[in-house]
Amino acid sequence: MTNYAGATSIVSSPFYELEIAKLQHDAAVLAWDCYVARAQGSPLKVTVGHIQVPLSAKSRTEWFNGIARRLDSLTRLKAGWSGPDSRPVDDHLAADALRLIDEVTKTNTPEPFVNPTASGGVLTEWQVAKLDLSIELTHDLSLVVLFTDAEGIAQDWEQTLHSDLSEIKHRVDELSKARK
């Protein structure tokens, strides 16, 4: 069984245990690669689409490899994947989305949901306790951000990918603390 992005689904799959073993193996390989990279002082690189993305060791979490694979799978979407006007996610945008996640997360950050948008962008979302954070990365490298706090008060803003990310980092920190 596959989902719309071509990724294997383990729900209702007779190969459930094999898929879990593969994910555990990938996580173990990534953890070892991070250990070696840190010991050698060399940056870790992940391939998304056809692009090598250098990453910091600080964001290495159990879920990060899965996010990199998910973004890689989004680069294989075809035009029209979600209707006649939907666009695929290009390699550069997927790589930028991974760099953004690497930049704003820490080791205690919960795993985000990462999905394509019909306009060819990437939507990254966290839902923890009563906090919600959505970040859409668009083709022009704009970030459309929506944060809803525990009282249900929503704040939204737009900024460019290459501008100061401190407000987004602050919101991700709030999510990480709420997870505990």
Mean pLDDT of 143-161: 94
Question: Over pLDDT 70: what percentage of the chain?
Answer: 67
In a domain, 169, yes or no: yes
Listed range (63-67, 77-81, 141-145, 161-165) with the worst mean pLDDT:
63-67
Q: Is residue 168 in some structural domain?
A: yes
Q: How far apart are CA 35 and CA 21, in angstroms?
A: 21
pLDDT of residue 29: 52
Average pLDDT for the chain: 79
Q: What integer pLDDT is reported at residue 12 of this predicted model?
A: 46
Is pLDDT above 90 for 174? Answer: yes
- Is 7 within a domain? no
Give the per-residue pLDDT at 16. Answer: 46
Q: Which amino acid is at 128?
A: V
pTM comes to: 0.72
3, pLDDT greater than 50: no
**Is 57's pLDDT higher than 80?**
no
In a domain? residue 5: no
Specify the pLDDT at position 65.
83
Chain centroid, CA 144 distance in Å: 15
- Is 8 inside a domain boundary? no
Residue 88 CB neighbour total at 10 angstroms: 17
- The one-letter amino acid code at 70 reads R
Question: What is the Cα–Cα distance from 56 to 44, expressed in whole angstroms?
Answer: 7
Whether 121 shows a pLDDT value over 90: the answer reads yes
Domain-embedded: residue 120? yes
The pLDDT, as a whole number, for residue 39 is: 45
> What is the number of structural domains in the chain?
1
Q: What is the pLDDT of residue 4?
A: 39
pLDDT of the residue at 60: 62
The token pair that represents 5 in the structure block: 């992005």
Alpha-carbon gap, residue 68 to 125, rounded angstroms? 15
* Helix or strand holding residue 34 (H, E): helix 16-40
- Going by pLDDT thresholds of 50, 70 and 90, the confidence category of residue 179 is confident
pLDDT score of 6 more than 50: no
| 73's tokens | 């799978």
Q: Which domain holds residue 140?
A: 16-179
